[in-house]
Amino acid sequence: MVYRLELAQRSSGPATAPRAAAAECCVVLMMKAVAQSKRRLATEIGAERATQAAQYLVDCAREDLESWRGPVCLAPADAAHLTALGSPSVAAVIVQRGDNLGERINHVNAELVARGVERQLFIGIDCPALDVAYLERAAAALSECDVVFGPAVDGGVVLMGVRGRWPDLSALPWSTGALGRALAAVCVSAGARSAMLEPLRDVDTLADLLALGAALAGDSRPARRALGRWLAQQRDLQGK
Could you read off the pLDDT of 126-143 as tens digits, one per residue?
999 999 999 999 999 999
Confidence of residue 213 (pLDDT cuts 50, 70, 90): confident
Amino acid at 113: V
Highest mean pLDDT among 17-21, 22-26, 88-92, 106-110: 106-110
Domain ranges of the chain: 2-230
Q: Are 157 and 126 in contact (CB under 8 A)?
A: no
pLDDT value at 100 more than 90: yes
Tens digit of each residue's pLDDT (9 = 90 or more) over 141-163: 999 999 999 999 999 999 999 99
Whole-angstrom Cα distance, residue 170 to residue 157? 16
Confidence of residue 81 (pLDDT cuts 50, 70, 90): confident
Confidence of residue 14 (pLDDT cuts 50, 70, 90): very low
Amino acid at 146: D
Nearest to 125 by CA among 193, 67, 61: 61
Asked if CATH classification 3.90.550.10 holds for the domain at 2-230, the reply, yes or no, is: yes
User: Angle at the Cα of 166 (from 163 to 167), degrees rounded to 5?
Assistant: 140
pTM for the whole structure: 0.90
Angle between helices 222-233 and 47-67 (to 10 degrees): 160
pLDDT value at 236 more than 80: yes
Confidence at residue 240, expressed as pLDDT on a 0 to 100 scale:
61
Q: Which residues of 112-133 are buried (b: 16+ CB within 10 A; e: fewer)?
A: bbeeebebbbbbbbbbbbbbbe
DSSP H stretches of helix in the chain: 5-8, 17-22, 39-45, 47-67, 101-114, 132-141, 179-189, 206-215, 222-233
